[in-house]
Copies of this chain bind each other. A is one copy, B any other.
Amino acid sequence: MVFKVTVNNAWRATRTLWLLVLVSLSVCICVCRASSPQEDSAMENIDTEKKAEESHRQDSADLLIFIMLLTLTILTIWLFKHRRFRFLHETGLAMIYGLLVGVVLRYGIHVPRDISNVTMSCHVNASPATLLINVSGKFYEYTLKGEINANAVGDVQDNEMLRKVTFDPEVFFNILLPPIIFHAGYSLKRRHFFLNMGSILAYAFLGTVVSCFVIGLLMYGCVVLMKQVGQLGGDFFFTDCLFFGAIVSATDPVTVLAIFNELQVDVDLYALLFGESVLNDAVALVLSSSIVAYQPEGNNSHTFEVMAMLNSFGVFLGVFSGSFALGVATGVVTALVTKFTKLRDFQLLETALFFLMSWSTFLLAEACGSTGVVAVLFCGITQAHYTYNNLSPESQDRTKQLFELLNFLAENFIFSYMGLTLFTFQSHVFNPMFIVGAFLAVFLGRAANIYPLSFLLNLGRRNKIRSNFQHMMMFAGLRGAMTFALSIRDTATYARQMMFSTTLLVVFFTVWICGGGTTQMLSCQHIRVGVDSDQDNSMSVVEGSERRSTKQESAWLFRIWYNFDHNYLKPILTHSGPPLTATLPPCCGPLARFLTSPQAYENECQLKDDDSDLILNDGDISLTYGDITVSTDATGAHTSGGPGFAGAASFDDLDRELAYGDHELVMRGTRLVLPMDDSEPPFTDPHNRLRM
């Protein structure tokens, strides 16, 4: 009976889907119809208002195509999730639907040449941003849209229809990417991110730069070869190759991560991949803009020059650190505002403020000439780490859900646009040699990032990155939204057009093949699935020696950061942590008293530590280990943590501290204190003192 109902429902769902397909097709027809009056009216007296209205109609219809595409994607992906198909992620599906609509728009609909476009050859020697045209006494205002390739002028007039569905590339950077990147920062799994911080930073910075140069050099070789064979139809300089290297170095394993999440793959692997992909988007973006900034002074703008290179390097550092500072700054301001006002009583105001402040980061960075997307990333991380704790529970849910939704919509929009643009973009340059070379270079570049770096990192890590993890990371080098947005940003020259077409293919291939093969790859590499992140920790306790030191490869970096954060930043920016009056030197007394929230004093006495998410979930631990309390304590882990221990904490000690911290918390009923934290306030409860 139950089975019958389910089948019935599924069948109904499929029918509803087809209904939707029909609706969206009728929309396409509607688009054709909407564009036909334009033709008629062009013959008549030209009326500005009517034309503006017509153009608005057309825009609405174009946007409607995308909305319908997304709706279809949502319904299909629901069907897939319902039936547990894992081989195709929603982004891959969005691309397929985009491709289909692209084919229809390209070959199915022919819009006759729009004669209302006029090419004028005026006697002006400038291209101002605003142009006033005097047409028989009436003034019309025009705004500059951009330069057009001379040989594309014919196309412009021919394919008005296709150009209509083409968005300004800046839409991606100003509207679609910010929510995606912010969401990535806001949803970063902070505990494992900070625990693996060293490796993640190495992969993201060093790895991306290595990958960029390896791909750039390989592509330069390829281009030289193509020149020899006579396969190259235009200029292609070394900086172009490096630029290509930069843009395809931004990985975006959203498909893989979704599967990881669903199958509960090892949290370290997840943290490494996610952390790397979040940060290397930022690195690749800044890297590509500093490569564009490379301009030698001489006439030949493509020679090597030390000064120009140093300048580029300076641009990289300046833009990156500027964006970082702006992002963190607005995050901190938001945290302070939410801490010192009682906005939490009005959730709508709180959520609105959070949204506006996060958005203002982007605008502020752009207005200052920094990179908004990078600023937004660091703002997201700061908001998650500090502001989130000050929000009311409702606002925590609201903000999470809001950015989750925005991320979902923006991501699928970009991927469906990617599919569409394969057919609607009008200056594609598909060069087989370049494409083969690019695929090879992308593969080798990823390998040159992962394997050598993993080897070096393993020298320092106690918890080695095993070879199957390395293979998985190599395999998960998908390219996605950022790569696409960077490559479509400028398609003016021959080289850029070739890059764009090739990038599109790289994205398609990696998303479909690598994304679709994730489950196979996981089982082939014998990577554990179904690992609960807290379970994982608990196992290290049970198994004792072998897995005890799992999470501490970057413990020294982590420890310094954690101490600073716990003793100073958290108390300043949130209601949690020890009172500043206890952690700051006595000379800063008034300031400390001013900044410390009343809750902080209460925290001293009772169990209320928002840091726990950084270490372990108290609830889980107390549940799992309620019975082995004594045996754990019997190992004597904490007897080694005496006062002299502060400076020279060994990995083992911190490891135990991390593994047992919350456990101890449960027993003592007081907040977690790291061993270094010996500047205890005089009025803590005696239980806490006993330990020292």
Contact = CB atoms under 8 A, between A and B. Distances in A.
A685 interface: no
A142 B139 contact: no
Contact of A360 (B71, B144, B369): B71
Interface in A46-83: 46, 48, 51-52, 55-58, 60-61, 63-64, 67-68, 70-71, 74-75, 77-78, 81-82
Which of A20, A345, A401 counts the most chain B CB atoms within 10 A? A401
Q: Which are the 4 A-B pairs with shortest beta-carbon distances?
A: A142-B142, A60-B366, A61-B367, A64-B363
10 contacts: A13-B342, A34-B367, A51-B144, A60-B367, A74-B356, A77-B349, A78-B342, A118-B131, A127-B133, A351-B401
A81 B132 CA distance: 49
A37 B134 CA distance: 29
Interface string A80-121: 011000000000000000000000000000000000111111
B342 A82 contact: yes
Contacts of A81: 345-346, 349
A147 B140 contact: yes
B78 A343 contact: yes
Contacts of A118: 124, 126, 128, 131-132
Contacts of A337: 16, 20, 75
B146 A366 contact: no
Contacts of A598: 5
Given A352-B408, A367-B61, A156 B127 contact: no
Interface string A1-44: 00001000100110110001001000100110010000000000
Given A61-B363, A409-B355, A131 B141 contact: no
A304 interface: no
A171 to B, nearest CB: 12
Given A20-B337, A30-B367, A356 B133 contact: no
Contacts of A128: 46, 51, 116-118
A140 B126 CA distance: 10
Contact of A127 (B67, B140, B348, B401): B140
Nearest to A150: B139
Contacts of A15: 340
B341 A126 contact: no
B132 A57 contact: no
A304 to B, nearest CB: 23
How big is the A interface, by class?
35 or more
Interface in A135-188: 135-150, 153, 156, 160, 170, 174
- Count this chain's copies in the assembly: 2
Contacts of A343: 74-75, 78
A342 to B, nearest CB: 6
B57 A366 contact: yes
Contact of A124 (B23, B133, B160): B133
B341 A13 contact: yes
A352 B74 contact: yes
A74 to B, nearest CB: 5
Given A20-B337, A367-B34, A126 B116 contact: yes
Interface in A329-372: 333, 336-337, 340-343, 345-346, 348-349, 351-353, 355-357, 359-360, 362-364, 366-369, 372
A306 interface: no
A635 interface: no
A156 B405 CA distance: 40
A43 to B, nearest CB: 12
A146 B140 contact: yes
A58 B367 CA distance: 7
A409 B122 contact: no
Given A141-B148, A336-B16, A74 B349 contact: yes
B147 A145 contact: no
Given A20-B337, A34-B367, A368-B30, A116 B129 contact: yes
